[in-house]
Amino acid sequence: MTVKEIFETMDYGPAPEDARPAMDWLEGNDRRFGLFIGGAFRAPLSGRHFETVNPADEVTLAHVAEAGAADVDAAVAAARKAQPGWARRSGHARARHLYALARLVQKHARLLAVLETLDNGKPIRESRDIDIPLVARHFYYHAGAAQLMETEMPGQAPLGVCGQVIPWNFPLLMLAWKIAPALAMGNTVVLKPAEQTPLTALLFAEICREAGLPAGVVNILTGAGETGAALVAHAGVDKVAFTGSTTIGRRIRAATAGQGKRLTLELGGKSPFIVFDDADLDSAVEGLVDAIWFNQGEVCCAGSRLLVQESVADGFYARLRARMDKLRVGDPLDKAVDVGAIVDRGQLDRITRLVEDGTAEGAQVHRTAAPLPEGGCYYPPTLVTGLDPAAPLMQEEIFGPVLVSTTFRTPAEAVALANNTRYGLAASVWSENINLALDIAPRLAAGVVWVNGTNMFDAAAGFGGRRESGFGREGGREGLYAYTRKIPAATPRRLVARQGAARAAPRAGDGIDRTAKLYIGGKQARPDGGYAMPVAGPRGRLAGHVGLGNRKDIRNAVEAARKADAWGRTHGHQRAQILYFIAENLSARAAEFAARIRAMTGQQIKAATAEVDAAVQRLFTYAAWADKYDGAAHDVPMRGMALAMNEPVGVIGAICSDAAPLLGLVSVMGPAVAMGNTCVLVPSETAPLAATDFYQVLDTSDLPGGVVNIVTGRHGDLAGPLAGHLDVDAVWCFGAAELSAPIEAESAGNLKRTWVNDGLGRDWAGPDGEGQEFLRQATEVKNIWVPWGA
Amino acid sequence: MQTSTHAQAGAKVPDLPQVQPQRNPGTALDLDWVAAVQANTSAIERRAKTLPGRRSVKKDWQAAWLLRAITLIDLTTLAGDDTPGRVRRLCAKARHPVRDDLLEALGMTGTRLTTGAVCVYHEMVPPAVAALAGSGIPVAAVSTGFPAGLSPLHLRIAEIEESVKAGADEIDIVISRRHVLTGDWQALYDEMRAFRAACGPAHVKAILATGELGTLRNVARASLVCMMAGADFIKTSTGKEPVNATLPVSLTMLRAIRDYGARTGHAVGFKPAGGISKAKDALTWMTLMKEELGDDWLRPHLFRFGASSLLGDIERQLEHHVTGHYSAGYRHPMG
């Protein structure tokens, strides 16, 4: 076209970013890459390579090594060897390395951006303006975290070797989210990038060398699913961090069960984008562009489920369709392209099939008017309206540029629809009424809520989900705790596996026979099975009976706990008063409880009395914390605030310690209840009568029914149903050694959080029996982003 | 390559030079509509901030777009020391904004290329009209006690009538900011109606002086009320406020234009003014127009830049495009 013609048509022309420097880099490596192990690239022991392809034109970019089992061994060994030395360095020394990484990422920013776009298909604008700057920002933030670790996180130690598996949608950014906090806290890593997008990780490996990072601190293993599976299952790995699909996350949870590994999962989502009638509708439309047409919709926290108030829905859809027709789909290297290529043909086929199957009946489909490029993996931005909540497209994660929508009538209905999902990653709320928006945000089941915005990220604010979107947070302080462990004050004793139930010898009663029941929904309940379990005292004498709880009792208890969730909306002050009152009432009956403990355990009365006293103190501790475990207002680069709110996890099931019959129970109940959770407690199997006495204390202390439920019985029988229950949000286990593995395995069903003892005991009477570790386990951090502007 | 010619929800104005597009006749004042207007400042700022990174015109496209930008300029002088001689010089530049050798190199020979208008104070209207006779370039006059707009209403109306009588084709009026700041939409509507009536056949541009309106929501509401009262254009600023044309303010006004067009079918023009002095700024604003309203708003009947020094930068950029060398200001005839 001539200038004169363009002068008339006023079209956009091509605006290509030059790919040559990235191609030169590939050529310089002969388009063939080894594995980065122990500070050097080496050929894979597997002898295998695979291709990585540019999805924009489906041309092969390079051949990349496929790490086999022996390669994983070598990388883990290198990381293991490097870890003690890395952890021994001062925080400042680690900070200098992370700072160097941040600076080098900035120096190589354009090369990284172009390479990312070539390998992934995302528009150059996004890799240049969003991905890479966020990568640098993450290393800066965590340089600071390393610098401050010694003073700000006393008593925390690194975990060791981290096995990290990341997805293809934000290849380098996810690498940064994984590597920066791990290194800052003194861990070393073996990271596997996605097989579709390994190139920027390999360039990052070069950057690690340039930064003078000690050999073995960062190891990069390229490969596909098999490599990832070998890495996460490797016995030499202490912590597994995974970002990717819920399906694979569930598999990893099951595969690592009982291995004593720490695990964080950042999985899929179907995040709601809620538009109220008083929203700035044009801005909300623009928000949707950034929510679902950002990165081709291949974003775990994409606002993919539009919920719009019925009164403005038609007008809103009209504006949205008009806006969609302005989106430019095409060559990702073109600086004026909004939507690039889908990462590969497999993903393109998956999106295509999901939409075809999902729009068969009744749905209205609108696609962008602009034609798609010939060849390459492209899918047009798509809006599907007229769907019901039951439609598969409303429930399944599509992971493509497809927005689905339905309407709501009231704020309450908006919340109900928003939470009607197995996922819980992110949410957007659009309203000019701060009163409404700030009421809705805390009620959404999500780890991140954006008010009048979407897809805002920063290293200072934690990111992560609830429900089947996974657990753990990346970024912020909470993200640092995911890469550390508390150094116990007392060396934990290894628990032995239970030797089968002790048989109690019958003994003549010398008073009125007492019947301990279960405690469910604030009422004493007979066990569903109708069986009682004898409790053996010292020398095998019968100390009494408790109900033998079964899976139906667990069901009833969870139901009662869920029903009591209004507890989570009470104030800390109110919860504190009740905890103090429980302590007061327990204290009044201290002698009775001490005698009971003695009768079950045979301890001296002095020791038993000390346990009761410790339980009273512990209740005070959590009463104290109830109104003091504050959230934070993060300093994020935005005019506004990012509020980190500590929310209750929900329903927590806990297997209590056998060792301290009363203190073990109170020590888990205290933090759970103080933080607003409701709970199902399975007390000591061998000495449960203190717990059944304790429900009488609860009954007289104004605790609402259902907040604490107590199910006695055999831990081995109850742990499974509790861990497998899909309406339980977390399971804690302080019981016998053999319980940890099945609990972690069963938890994979709804990907509930688990906190198990891996067969290690705990000194309940000492400082290890309480503290912030418990509070962190009893809370979920929700980051609520509230930009403002007059 | 793809084209993007889909009109936004709103009126599609026939893009034929010989057809005089229908003017916005206005509507009754709809206070419910005005009250329902929302403008989220931080979201609008985010859109405005990312827009320049989302679109890019390079090479021949950039040259063509800059040539188009020239046709959209209201070449302006609004200084206390304006004289007929100064205005004649400006009009000569408006007739002949780019050196012939550059136009020829760009393949634009035979295309009549002038600025969109020349914009002056009332006293300078007669020399401007005389200097532009036969060129087809309209003369715009700022009016109604520009820039503060605080002289008596009957005098402000009389000023419009005088300028129209003197030959002005377009009148840039200033609204009474106090009506916006006190929420007296009826007063604003009535005033604008009166101005429009006084203009008769001359087109009226309503200057909102957005830098003095306090909030983007006020900008959006004032935009709507002025359109309801029959403004042909809405314009950001006099150029004399502390803050003049900004992208967020422009985006807010464009969305109001789009909303008004979608509901009434009437197309209203837009004129950012003040502070737009670089070729790159012009391209950004044109991108904004194309993205938010469509290609019709890249024509002078619906889009103007109020600018005095923009043309000089565009000339330098065009020469750079032609020669490959960065240009100097003195190589281009002054206006």
Contact A87/B at CB under 8 A: no
Residues 122-181 of A with CB under 8 A from B: 125, 129
Beta bridge partners of A265: A242, A471
Residues 363-422 of A with CB under 8 A from B: 369-371
CA proximity to A708, closest of A688, A731, A682, A739? A682
User: Per the CB < 8 Å rule, is A12 touching B64?
Assistant: no
Contact A569/B at CB under 8 A: no
Contact A47/B at CB under 8 A: no
Q: B5 pLDDT band (50/70/90 cuts)?
A: very low
Q: Considering only the beta carbons, identify the residue of A4, A282, A787 that sits closest to B42.
A: A787
Q: Considering only the beta carbons, identify the residue of B55, B60, B215 that sits closest to A336.
A: B55
User: Distance (Å, rounded) from C-alpha A191 to C-alpha A231?
Assistant: 9
Buried b (16+ CB within 10 A) or exposed e, A45-75: bbeebeebbbbbbeeebbbbbbbbbebbbbb
Instruction: Report the alpha-carbon angle A325-A326-A332, nearest 5.
Output: 110
Element containing residue A709 per DSSP (H, E): strand A708-710
Burial category of A540 from C-beta neighbours within 10 Å (exposed 0-12, middle 13-18, buried 19 and up): exposed
**Sign of the CA dihedral running A67, A70, A73, A77:** negative
Tokens describing residue A625? 């914390």
Burial category of A774 from C-beta neighbours within 10 Å (exposed 0-12, middle 13-18, buried 19 and up): buried
Cβ proximity of A674 and A646 under 8 Å? no
What per-residue confidence (pLDDT) applies to A539? Answer: 83
Contact A639/B at CB under 8 A: yes
* Residue in the block written with tokens 């060897």: A81
What per-residue confidence (pLDDT) applies to A498? Answer: 73
Mutate to test the interface with A, among B1, B2, B40, B243 (most CBs of A within 10 A): B40
Please determine, for the modelled complex, whether the ipTM score is greater than 0.90.
yes
- Position A266: which residue type? E
User: Per the CB < 8 Å rule, is B2 touching A330?
Assistant: yes
Residues of B with CB below 8 A from A15's CB? 56-58
User: Per the CB < 8 Å rule, is A318 touching B9?
Assistant: yes
Q: In what order do the strands lie in the sheet with A161-165?
A: A40-42, A35-37, A218-220, A188-192, A161-165, A239-243, A262-266, A470-471
What per-residue confidence (pLDDT) applies to A291? Answer: 98
User: Distance (Å, rounded) from C-alpha A589 to C-alpha A583?
Assistant: 10
Binning chain B into helix, strand and coil, the percentages to the nearest 5 are 50, 10, 40
Q: Considering only the beta carbons, identify the residue of A125, A279, A787 that sits closest to B53.
A: A125
- State the Rg of chain B over Cα: 19
Residues of B with CB below 8 A from A790's CB? 41, 214-215
Tokens describing residue A422? 């197995």
Q: In what order do the strands lie in the sheet with B305-307?
A: B269-271, B233-235, B203-207, B170-174, B139-142, B117-120, B73-76, B305-307
A266 catalytically annotated: yes
Each residue of A121-136: pLDDT tens digit? 999 999 999 999 999 9
User: Distance (Å, rounded) from C-alpha A550 to C-alpha A480?
Assistant: 39
Contact A3/B at CB under 8 A: yes
Each residue of A649-693: pLDDT tens digit? 999 999 999 999 999 999 999 999 999 999 999 999 999 999 999
User: Distance (Å, rounded) from C-alpha A191 to C-alpha A169?
Assistant: 16
User: Distance (Å, rounded) from C-alpha A305 to C-alpha B155?
Assistant: 57
Tokens describing residue A426? 């992110």
CA proximity to A422, closest of A449, A448, A396? A396
Residues of B with CB below 8 A from A9's CB? 3
User: Distance (Å, rounded) from C-alpha A466 to C-alpha A445?
Assistant: 7
User: Distance (Å, rounded) from C-alpha A524 to C-alpha A519?
Assistant: 5
Tokens describing residue B69? 């930008």
β-pairing verdict for A640-648 and A779-787: antiparallel
User: Per the CB < 8 Å rule, is A3 touching B9?
Assistant: no
Residue B169 DSSP one-character state: S
Cβ proximity of B267 and B261 under 8 Å? yes
User: Distance (Å, rounded) from C-alpha B10 to C-alpha A761?
Assistant: 71
Contacts of residue A193, Cβ cutoff 8 Å, sequence gap at least 6? A166, A168, A171, A175, A200, A201, A220, A222
Each residue of B73-121: pLDDT tens digit? 999 999 999 999 999 999 999 999 999 999 999 999 989 999 999 999 9
Nearest-10 Cα torsion for A527, A528, A529, A532: 10
User: Distance (Å, rounded) from C-alpha A704 to C-alpha A673?
Assistant: 11
User: Per the CB < 8 Å rule, is B111 touching A7?
Assistant: yes
User: Per the CB < 8 Å rule, is A7 touching B38?
Assistant: no
Residues of A with CB below 8 A from B65's CB? 6, 10
What per-residue confidence (pLDDT) applies to A541? Answer: 86
Query: Which chain B residue shows the shortest CA-CA distance from A10?
Result: B65
User: What is the per-residue DSSP string for A263-307?
Assistant: EEEE----EEEEE-TTS-HHHHHHHHHHHHSGGGG--TT-EEEEE
Residue B142: C-alpha distances to residues A84, A654, B182, B277 (Å): 76, 77, 25, 20
pTM, to two decimals: 0.96
- Position A525: which residue type? A
User: Distance (Å, rounded) from C-alpha A656 to C-alpha A671?
Assistant: 13
> Of B235, B259, B281, B296, which one is the catalytic site residue?
B235
Residues of A with CB below 8 A from B255's CB? 282
Contact A434/B at CB under 8 A: no
Binning chain A into helix, strand and coil, the percentages to the nearest 5 are 45, 20, 35
Contact A18/B at CB under 8 A: no
Beta bridge partners of B118: B75, B139
- Position A225: which residue type? G
- Position B288: which residue type? L
What per-residue confidence (pLDDT) applies to A514? Answer: 82
- Position A376: which residue type? G
Residues of B with CB below 8 A from A7's CB? 64, 67-68, 108, 111
CA proximity to A454, closest of A306, A246, A335, A322? A306
Q: At residue B10, does pLDDT exceed 70?
A: no
> In the Cβ-directed half-sphere of A137, how many Cα atoms lie within 13 Å?
17
Q: B211 pLDDT band (50/70/90 cuts)?
A: very high
Residues of A with CB below 8 A from B259's CB? 282
Query: Which chain B residue shows the shortest CA-CA distance from A371?
Result: B2
Element containing residue A784 per DSSP (H, E): strand A779-787
User: Per the CB < 8 Å rule, is A11 touching B56?
Assistant: no
To the nearest whole angstrom, how far is the Cα of B2 from the nearest Cα of chain A? 7
* Residue in the block written with tokens 């496209």: B61
Residue B111 DSSP one-character state: -
> Of A162, A208, A300, A656, which one is the catalytic site residue?
A300
Cβ proximity of B137 and B114 under 8 Å? yes
Contacts of residue B224, Cβ cutoff 8 Å, sequence gap at least 6? B33, B34, B37, B256, B259, B260
Residues of A with CB below 8 A from B108's CB? 3-4, 7
Cβ proximity of A307 and A419 under 8 Å? no
What per-residue confidence (pLDDT) applies to A408? Answer: 98
pLDDT along chain A (790 residues), means of 10: 97 97 98 98 98 98 98 98 98 98 98 98 98 98 98 97 98 98 98 98 98 98 98 98 97 97 97 98 98 98 98 98 97 98 98 92 89 95 94 95 98 98 98 97 98 97 97 96 96 81 62 88 97 90 94 98 97 98 98 96 96 98 97 95 97 96 98 98 96 97 98 97 98 95 97 96 96 97 96
Ramachandran angles phi, psi of A444, nearest 5°: -90, 135
User: Distance (Å, rounded) from C-alpha A733 to C-alpha A655?
Assistant: 5
User: Distance (Å, rounded) from C-alpha A2 to C-alpha A14?
Assistant: 14
Contacts of residue A8, Cβ cutoff 8 Å, sequence gap at least 6? none
Q: Considering only the beta carbons, identify the residue of B42, B111, B214 that sits closest to A788.
A: B42
CA proximity to B44, closest of B268, B190, B219? B219
Cβ proximity of A757 and A495 under 8 Å? yes
Burial category of A370 from C-beta neighbours within 10 Å (exposed 0-12, middle 13-18, buried 19 and up): buried
Contact A327/B at CB under 8 A: no
Residue A115: C-alpha distances to residues A136, A140, A629 (Å): 16, 22, 44
CA proximity to A634, closest of A509, A470, A772, A456? A456
CA proximity to B206, closest of B262, B160, B152, B137? B160
Query: Which chain A residue shows the shortest CA-CA distance from B288?
Result: A326
β-pairing verdict for A188-192 and A161-165: parallel
User: Distance (Å, rounded) from C-alpha B272 to C-alpha B253?
Assistant: 10
A300 catalytically annotated: yes
Contact A282/B at CB under 8 A: yes
To the nearest whole angstrom, how far is the Cα of A434 from the nearest Cα of chain B? 12
- State the Rg of chain A over Cα: 28
CA proximity to A241, closest of A66, A466, A69, A471? A471
